[in-house]
Amino acid sequence: MANATQSPLERNYARLGILLIGPTVLVFCAVIVYPLVSAIYLSLFSIYTPTLEGEWVGLSNYRELLAKGEFWSSLWTNIIWTVGTLTLQIVFGVGMALVLHQNLIFRSLARSLILFPYFVSTVVAVLVWRWLFNDLYGILNHFVMLSGASDMPVDWLGSMPNALLSVILVGAWKYFPFVVIATLARLQTIPDHLYEAAKIDGAGPIARFFDVTLPQLRDVLVVIIMLRAIWDFKEFDLIFLLTGGGPVTSTQTLPLLVYKEAFALNQMGMASAYAVVMMAIMLVFMILYIRRTREEEDR
Amino acid sequence: MRIIRRVLFNLFAWALVLAVAFPLFWMVVTSLKPGFELFRRPPTMLPETVTFEHYWRLLTETPFLRYFANSVILATTTTLVVVTIGTLGAYSLVRFRYRGRESLAFLVLFTYLLPSVVLIIPLYLLMVKLGLANTIFSLVIAYTTFALPYALWLLRSFMAGVPEDLESAALVDGASRMEAFWDVILPQLLPGIISTALFTFILAWNEYLYALVLVNSDSARPLTTGVMTMLISAFNIEWSLLMAASVMMSLPLIVVFAFLQSYLTRGFGAGAVKG
């Protein structure tokens, strides 16, 4: 009986719920789902960008790209960039979080300064770093020559492997604050008695880090690594603006290849195929992350 | 002994922090140096003569102000649209039960991680077909593709933090669901909404790729692509001018950092990473 009186109200609520999510669903369909399906569809055509005239070519874009050296070399660069910058982000990020977790004078100011690179526009970050990297008047070359590490100014962005290393370094500088903040939040929740117990057992600071801190951080680090791996893998702005993929194509990652194919070489169909393959690669990480998030929510 | 160790640790920690912040310090210093001082060897760490001539030139001789205004309009509109739709959506996702709700939440998370380059070609074609290319409006549409999933994801976890009892109590008192939403949930959610709005604004303010592809005229160009055009079109790169532009471009961020930083940290806790 109670059920029968409740159910019209619940049905009303369900209707209201759908009404409230309506705008979201509408926008999602129009600007995300439709373009996504469309991208897959476009990848089956050969389209010349200026005229936008297309011709059905089926799967031949995919066949062509898998046979092309440029795809594989870009994928390889993409992996090196992701692994390189992510490793630096994690190492510096956790290190800095441990430092900021201690009693430090003006700690909140220090935290703001650390946080700033993460929020500053990539355009600003790149302009500043290109000025630092400047071969004649850049301050970095001044420091290098002052320290005697080299008599000649270093060509930071114009030659290999410097260019890739510079890009990885700037990426680490820009994104490591994310790791700092996320780790710091977790550090503050580790109960003190764990450290005290370890101290009584005679563990030094290094042993305490490996036996107490690191296991406690494990879960949050897994999440951070997955998220940052996804975001670093798809990074476009930073690399495009720093080197444009150069010298030649040595810092060209997949997102840059998609852009070049679509808007410089005017092959939109081919570019879509690159984008779809790139998404397929990322899908592995995305599914892992989504599955993990769901498990956490169910807990 | 203890004090010495503390002093040493503080020195070490602050050296690290200052090294990280150095590029930003250098940006400000460069923007304040007169042209002749810029190319001095060795470089001066602090400007010997402080000048605002680059800022003045930026505002009077370049289209910087136009770009700035475009960015303000663009980021504000995007934020308003996204936060409004997102708040209603998050309320629905967290507090209502209906079929397909779980899959929707999954879709939100999926799009939150989706790379822009996959959507950019179809969106470009769509804008050309609708005749919207080269307008700020086209960018607002494009920005919702990443800003809405982002805002929804943040708001969803803020909404989950609002105690359900409050809403139930209002319902028992005879309020309708929407009245309870206005009177009880919104005030509770406000810090989360502010935090989400800040994140969305910063995201839209900093966006580059869509602006590069969809807009190709000064009248609609936002700051990110605008400033890069200034770099490319200049005969010889004027670093002081560009650094002044960078400082100006970071102004909204500096305001947020000075007055609203707690909202940023809160957003970090809610959205990106959970315990």
- Closest residue by Cα to residue A38 from A272, A293, A297: A272
β-sheet bridge partners, residue A54: A47
SS3 A47: strand
Measured in angstroms, the CA of A11 and the nearest CA of chain B are apart by 9
The confidence score (pLDDT) of residue B273 equals 42
Q: Mean pLDDT, chain A, as a whole number?
A: 88
SS3 A46: strand
The pLDDT of A201-228, averaged and rounded, is 87
Give the tens place of pLDDT for each residue, B153-162.
Answer: 889 888 888 8
- B35 phi, psi to nearest 5 deg: -50, -45
Q: Do B96 and A16 touch (CB under 8 A)?
A: yes
Contact by Cβ (8 Å): B96, A256: no
Domains belonging to chain B, first-starting first, are 2-51 (no CATH), 63-272 (1.10.3720.10)
Q: Do A113 and B6 touch (CB under 8 A)?
A: no
Mutate to test the interface with B, among A26, A46, A112, A121 (most CBs of B within 10 A): A121
pLDDT tier at B246, thresholds 50, 70, 90:
very high
From chain A residues 243-262, the ones with a CB under 8 A of any chain B CB are 254-255, 258-259, 262
pLDDT tier at A173, thresholds 50, 70, 90:
very high
Q: Do B121 and A275 touch (CB under 8 A)?
A: yes
A2 or A137, greater pLDDT: A137
- Sign of the torsion formed by the C-alpha atoms of B208, B258, B246 and A89: negative
% of chain A surpassing 90 pLDDT: 39
The confidence score (pLDDT) of residue B69 equals 94
Domains belonging to chain A, first-starting first, are 2-42 (no CATH), 69-298 (1.10.3720.10)
Chain B positions touching A114 (Cβ under 8 A) are 17, 20-21
Angle at B194 between CA B193 and CA B199, to 5 degrees: 95
The confidence score (pLDDT) of residue A291 equals 85
A195 or B204, greater pLDDT: B204
Angle at A97 between CA B192 and CA A230, to 5 degrees: 65
Q: How far is it, in rounded angstroms, from Cα A22 to Cα A36?
A: 20
Q: In this model, does residue A204 exceed pLDDT 90?
A: no
Residues with Cβ < 8 Å from B234, sequence gap 6 or more?
Answer: B241
Other CB atoms within a 10 A radius of the CB of residue A88 amount to 18
Q: What is the CA radius of gyration of chain A?
A: 25
Q: Do A134 and B227 touch (CB under 8 A)?
A: no
Residues with Cβ < 8 Å from A148, sequence gap 6 or more?
Answer: none
Chain B positions touching A178 (Cβ under 8 A) are 268, 272
Give the tens place of pLDDT for each residue, B40-99.
Answer: 777 788 888 888 988 998 898 888 999 999 999 999 999 999 999 999 999 999 888 888
Complex prediction ipTM:
0.90
Give the tens place of pLDDT for each residue, A279-297.
Answer: 999 998 888 888 888 887 7
Chain A positions touching B269 (Cβ under 8 A) are 185
How many inter-chain contacts (A to B, CB under 8 Å) are there? 268
Chain A positions touching B205 (Cβ under 8 A) are 121
The confidence score (pLDDT) of residue B234 equals 61
- B131 phi, psi to nearest 5 deg: 70, 25
Q: Mean pLDDT, chain B, as a whole number?
A: 87
The confidence score (pLDDT) of residue B249 equals 93
Give the tens place of pLDDT for each residue, A28-41.
Answer: 988 889 999 999 99
Residue of chain B with shortest Cα separation from A169:
B20
Q: In this model, does residue A5 exceed pLDDT 60?
A: no
Measured in angstroms, the CA of A193 and the nearest CA of chain B are apart by 19
Which helix (H) or strand (E) is B57 found in, with range? helix B53-61
Residues with Cβ < 8 Å from B258, sequence gap 6 or more?
Answer: none
The confidence score (pLDDT) of residue A3 equals 46
% of chain B surpassing 70 pLDDT: 96
From chain A residues 45-104, the ones with a CB under 8 A of any chain B CB are 52, 96, 99-100, 102-104
